[in-house]
Structures are given as structure tokens and as C-alpha cells.
């Protein structure tokens, strides 16, 4: 659950009063939780209580106030994109009908539509027993199931009407277990599940003297996004990173290095036993031939800095890899992009290369989006549009999954 982004959709049923406890449990397990509360839901549970336990604003309508500065006018889209799962608990008969009809008149129903394909949707209908058994509710439940949502039967017990029967929302602990199961099933479904993936990320620093170095503008964001996405698909991820200001994605092993030589030495230890090597680091091609220990003095008007070539980590892995191991690289090019990327794919013996369009604002170093073209060994080339680095990482892993040898751990 750690690091997972979860939207809890809360509708207007008495069980809504239990949802702050559900949020608490999820937060305790390390999940990021945002809440979409319907108008009816707000009658049963306070927005303030939910905002307090989640530590986030509670989303209600899709129309933000226009008199407030810095409002996110597209949160109805970004929320759905952000989520790894949508849990609707309690789900009322009314909201089930709206979901079936594709209505988008509040944040909850809109998130349902903007959620990324393949993300789990867990729906916990909770209402009076007779309402639950009514033909229209049963028809809507079937429709939503056929669309890939997981519908959970309500628990049996005392209902708000005082009668006994089916209709109670399962307890928050039980909802948590169902969500765990959904993520597990998803991870096991991925061909990357159980695979050992080594990823390099970030820049390297090549020492000139005790206080100066040669480096580049790489932020490490792309490599970290790939690591996060691979771990979510159940891979065992080792991330070897140069100096960056990024949090370690949950559930991965991170090794910090500084120079290309250190990155190479660290990566070498993993070459033999990994299934996949993804080189997203911006490794310095050269390093000063004779770095000095102290601080160089500013004496000469001019001086020459002799540089020597660094090992090409990816090319080394490409040369050493055995049958079944895959090598994936990036090519950040400013001229003759695709042609150069294709040449690198062959010269470094890669299985796939991601040509990285370079533009200061939308793609490349230190921005949150990227524009990639994926080129496979067999020539198949897929141009991706401008995507967030998270989404670009997802697309890259989709392509890699297609290349993985079947049934090999």
C-alpha cells in the first residue's frame, strides 16, 4: 500500500461515518489518500473530519471557486490521472446509477471517468436491503461489473431502518484487505512481477578538484518514475542514482553514487543476476584525467583541463548480457535524433531505446513531462505524445513487458 495514490469516493449513506477510520488505516499503511465526497455524503460525515485525517482538501464539485487565486481548474482530470485506485464506499443506489449512465456532475463521478484504464475500481454498495435487491440496483451492479469494476456484496446485519438484512458497508479493515488483494492481483498479473530490474538515474559528478565537478542538468525524475512504476508492477527494483533531490520511491532498494566510475562499479555487481537493465542516468561521458585534492588556485589566465573517457555502463551491460536479459537505454539528442538513437540501439546492443526529445520546457532534463519515441530492435517505432514522466514510464514499461521472455523469473 505504501506510496499508492488512492481516491476514496464517499456517497450519502449512514456508513459514511466510518470513512475517516478507513482513511486513517490507509494513511497508516503509507498510502496517499484524496477524498471525493458527494453532496449526500457530506450530510453524514464532516468535510473537516475527512480533510483532517487525510491531510488534503476534500473534493466535492468540479467547479472550483473563481474568486480564489492559484486554483487548480483541471483537478477533475488530474485527480483521476493521479489515482492508482478508486474505492467507492459507501456507494449509494443513486451514485451506482450515475456511474452506469456516465454522468459527471460531481468530483466522484468525474474521477470515475478520468481514472486511467486498468486501475482498480472497488465499489461497496451500502443501502437498505430492499433497495439493494431492487431490479434497477442489481442491473447497475451487473453493468459496472461487466465494465471491470469490482463490486462487493454488502454485509449482513443491523440496518439503519432497524431491520436486519444485507446492506451494511464492510468494516474499514475488510475494505483495506480487499484493496490489498486488488493491488496484489494487479502486480502478479504484470509480466514484470518478480523480475529483477536495475535502473540507473540522475547525473554523475566528475571531480575536478576538492570543491568543483563536471555534471549536467539531469534531475533523476525519469529514472525515479520508472523505478516507482516497476515496483508497482511487482518488480524487485534496484535504483542506482547520482546526486538528486528526490524521495526514494516506496519498496525499492536505492544506492547513491557520485561519479560514473562509482555508478559503473555498483551496477556491475547486479549485471549477472538482473532480468532487466534500464539506463536512465545522464552519465558524464568524460572525467578530469587528474582531479586535484584541494582547491585549485586561480593563478594562470588560461589552463587546459585534460579529460578521459568514462566507461559506458549501458554498452558494457549490452555486451555482457545473456539470453533472456534485456538492456534498455535512453538517447537524449539535439540533432539527427532518431538516426542517432537507432545507431546507439545497435552499437550498445540494446533491446529498446527511448529517444528523448529535448526541449527546455516540455521534455528532457529537470522538467516533469517528457516526449519519448520508443525504438525496438526489430525497427518498430512508437512515438509517444508529451506525457508526465510517470505516464511516460508506464508506457515504457508496457513496451518492455512485450519484450520480456515468457515464464522466466
Q: CA 244, CA 365: separation in Å to the nearest integer? A: 12
The sign of the CA dihedral 363, 368, 371, 372 is: positive
Q: How far is the CB of 329 from ligand C5P (least distance, A)?
A: 3
Which of 32, 140, 216, 273 is an active site residue? 216
Tell me whether residue 194 or residue 311 sits nearer to ligand C5P (CB atom).
311
> Does 23 interact with ligand C5P (rule: CB under 6 A)?
no
Stretch of 144-152, 190-198, 281-289, 396-404 lying at the interface with ligand C5P (CB under 6 A): 281-289
Q: Which residue among 314, 371, 397, 400 contacts ligand C5P (CB under 6 A)?
A: 314
Angle between the 19-28 and 47-54 helix axes, to the nearest 10 degrees? 10
Stretch of 23-31, 173-181, 238-246, 310-318 lying at the interface with ligand C5P (CB under 6 A): 310-318
Are 82 and 35 contacting, i.e. CB atoms less than 8 angstroms apart?
no
Nearest residue to 226 via CA among 188, 267, 284, 281: 281
Q: CA 86, CA 9: separation in Å to the nearest integer? A: 7
How far is residue 211 CA from its own chain's centroid? Answer: 36
> Does 281 interact with ligand C5P (rule: CB under 6 A)?
yes
Q: How far is the CB of 200 from ligand C5P (least distance, A)?
A: 6
Q: Give backbone dihedrals phi and psi of 150, rounded to 5 degrees, phi first.
A: -105, 115
The count of chain residues that interact with ligand C5P, using the rule CB under 6 A, is 14
What region, left, alpha or beta, does residue 80 occupy, with left being phi > 0 and alpha being psi -120 to 50 degrees?
alpha
> Does 279 interact with ligand C5P (rule: CB under 6 A)?
yes
Computed over its alpha carbons, how large is the radius of gyration of the chain?
A: 25
> Does 310 interact with ligand C5P (rule: CB under 6 A)?
yes
What region, left, alpha or beta, does residue 70 occupy, with left being phi > 0 and alpha being psi -120 to 50 degrees?
left
The binding track of 320-349 with respect to ligand C5P, each residue x by CB under 6 A or -, is ---------xxx------------x-----
Nearest residue to 3 via CA among 232, 256, 202, 192: 232
Q: How far is the CB of 366 from ligand C5P (least distance, A)?
A: 16
> Does 375 interact with ligand C5P (rule: CB under 6 A)?
no
Q: CA 314, CA 320: separation in Å to the nearest integer? A: 10
User: What's the distance, Cα to Cα, between the start and end of the chain in Å?
Assistant: 24
Q: Which residue among 121, 235, 260, 345 contacts ligand C5P (CB under 6 A)?
A: 260
Q: How far is the CB of 388 from ligand C5P (least distance, A)?
A: 20
Q: CA 32, CA 360: separation in Å to the nearest integer? A: 30
Tell me whether residue 115 or residue 331 sits nearer to ligand C5P (CB atom).
331
Taking every pair of C-alpha atoms in the chain, what is the biggest distance, in angstroms?
Answer: 92
> Does 197 interact with ligand C5P (rule: CB under 6 A)?
no
DSSP for 206-241? EESSSS-EE-----SHHHHHHHHHHHHTT-EEEEEE
Q: Which residue among 283, 352, 393, 396 contacts ligand C5P (CB under 6 A)?
A: 283
Q: Which residue among 84, 312, 351, 391 contacts ligand C5P (CB under 6 A)?
A: 312
Check if 156 is active-site: no
Q: How far is the CB of 232 from ligand C5P (least distance, A)?
A: 22
Nearest residue to 176 via CA among 19, 10, 11, 14: 19
Q: How far is the CB of 340 from ligand C5P (least distance, A)?
A: 8
Per CB under 6 A, which of residues 53..72 are in contact with ligand C5P? none
Q: Which residue among 45, 179, 313, 400 contacts ligand C5P (CB under 6 A)?
A: 313
The binding track of 200-239 with respect to ligand C5P, each residue x by CB under 6 A or -, is x---------------------------------------
- The binding site for ligand C5P (CB under 6 A) comprises 200, 260, 279, 281, 283, 285, 310, 312-314, 329-331, 344
Catalytic residues: 216
Amino acid at each position: 500500500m505504501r506510496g499508492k495514490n488512492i481516491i476514496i469516493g464517499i456517497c450519502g449513506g449512514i456508513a459514511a461515518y466510518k470513512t475517516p477510520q478507513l482513511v486513517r488505516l490507509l494513511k497508516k499503511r503509507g498510502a496517499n489518500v484524496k477524498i471525493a465526497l458527494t453532496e449526500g455524503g457530506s450530510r453524514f460525515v464532516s468535510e473537516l473530519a475527512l480533510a483532517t485525517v487525510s491531510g488534503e482538501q476534500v473534493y466535492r464539485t468540479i467547479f472550483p471557486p473563481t474568486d480564489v487565486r492559484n486554483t487548480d481548474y483541471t483537478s477533475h482530470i488530474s485527480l483521476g490521472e493521479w489515482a492508482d485506485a478508486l474505492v467507492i464506499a459507501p456507494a449509494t443506489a443513486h451514485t451506482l446509477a450515475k456511474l452506469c449512465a456516465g454522468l459527471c456532475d460531481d468530483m466522484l463521478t468525474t474521477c470515475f471517468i478520468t481514472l486511467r484504464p486498468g486501475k482498480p475500481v472497488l465499489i461497496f454498495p451500502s443501502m437498505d436491503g430492499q433497495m439493494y435487491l431492487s431490479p434497477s440496483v442489481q442491473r447497475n451492479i451487473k453493468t459496472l461489473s461487466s465494465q471491470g469494476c469490482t463490486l462487493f456484496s454488502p454485509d449482513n446485519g443491523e440496518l439503519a431502518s432497524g431491520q436486519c438484512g444485507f446492506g451494511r458497508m464492510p468494516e474499514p479493515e475488510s475494505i483495506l484487505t480487499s484493496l490489498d488483494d486488488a493491488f496484489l492481483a494487479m502486480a502478479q498479473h504484470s509480466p514484470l512481477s518478480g523480475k529483477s530490474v536495475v535502473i540507473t538515474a540522475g547525473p554523475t559528478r566528475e571531480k575536478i578538484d576538492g570543491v568543483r565537478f563536471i555534471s549536467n542538468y539531469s534531475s533523476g525524475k525519469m529514472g525515479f518514475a520508472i523505478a516507482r512504476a516497476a515496483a508497482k508492477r511487482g518488480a524487485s527494483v534496484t535504483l542506482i542514482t547520482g546526486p538528486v533531490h528526490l524521495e526514494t520511491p516506496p519498496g525499492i532498494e536505492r544506492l547513491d553514487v557520485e561519479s560514473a566510475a562509482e555508478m559503473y562499479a555498483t551496477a556491475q555487481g547486479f549485471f549477472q543476476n538482473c532480468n532487466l537493465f534500464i539506463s536512465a542516468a545522464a552519465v558524464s561521458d568524460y572525467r578530469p584525467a587528474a582531479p586535484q585534492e584541494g582547491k585549485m588556485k586561480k593563478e594562470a589566465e588560461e589552463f587546459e583541463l585534460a579529460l578521459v573517457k568514462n566507461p559506458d555502463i549501458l554498452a558494457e551491460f549490452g555486451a555482457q548480457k545473456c539470453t533472456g536479459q534485456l538492456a534498455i537505454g535512453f538517447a537524449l539528442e539535439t540533432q539527427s535524433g532518431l538516426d542517432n538513437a537507432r545507431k546507439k540501439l545497435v552499437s550498445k546492443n540494446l533491446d529498446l531505446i527511448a529517444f528523448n526529445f529535448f526541449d527546455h520546457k516540455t521534455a528532457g532534463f529537470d522538467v516533469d513531462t517528457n516526449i519519448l519515441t520508443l525504438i525496438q530492435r526489430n525497427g518498430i517505432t512508437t512515438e509517444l505524445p508529451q506525457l508526465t514522466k510517470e505516464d511516460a514510464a508506464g508506457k515504457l514499461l508496457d513496451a518492455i513487458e512485450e519484450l520480456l521472455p515468457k515464464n522466466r523469473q
